[in-house]
């Protein structure tokens, strides 16, 4: 009887171990498949991110080039804006001077500013004088 019982238990436990082993093997295989699918998805995401990054970099370069062109157009205006701002500061200082000493200092600084700006004024006067001379020359040639 013992041998029959022992043999029955051995058969049942052997079959049980086989079933457990098969389930463990299937579980490990499915985990490997899941990791493979995850790796494939990660590779797809990485390639999409890389493409998106490259597209963003290309667009950023285009924007930078257009910004540089716009800034290059505005550079001549920067100097004029700075001069205008300084002139307004001098006018403010002249209007709000407290006492004769501050007023004299404001006048002195304003005159110094005007002296620095004279080459531009001189250039404008030269341009105006050249235009007047050209008109006078045309009139003289028409009279002859």
Determine contact, residues 85/76, Cβ cutoff 8 Å.
no
3-state DSSP call for residue 97? coil
Task: Express each pLDDT in 77-120 by its tens digit.
Answer: 887 888 889 999 999 999 988 999 999 999 999 988 887 777 76
Give me 106's structure tokens.
């404001």
d(CA 113, CA 119): 11
Residue with tokens 């093997």: 25
Report the pLDDT value the prediction gives residue 83, as an integer from 0 to 100.
83
Higher pLDDT, 95 or 74: 95
């Amino acid at each position: 009887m013992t041998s029959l019982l022992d043999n029955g238990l051995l058969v049942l436990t052997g079959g049980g171990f086989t079933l457990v082993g098969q389930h463990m093997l299937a579980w490990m295989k499915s985990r490997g498949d899941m990791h493979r699918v995850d790796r494939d998805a990660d590779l797809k995401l990485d390639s999409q991110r890389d493409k998106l990054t490259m597209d963003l970099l290309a667009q950023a370069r285009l924007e930078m080039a257009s910004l540089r062109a716009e800034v290059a157009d505005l550079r001549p205006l920067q100097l004029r804006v700075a001069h205008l701002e300084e002139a307004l500061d001098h006018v403010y200082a002249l209007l709000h001077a407290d006492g004769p000493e501050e007023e004299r200092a404001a006048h002195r600084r304003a005159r110094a500013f005007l002296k620095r700006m004279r080459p531009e004024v001189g250039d404008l006067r030269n341009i105006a004088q050249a235009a007047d001379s050209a008109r006078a020359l045309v009139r003289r040639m028409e009279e002859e």
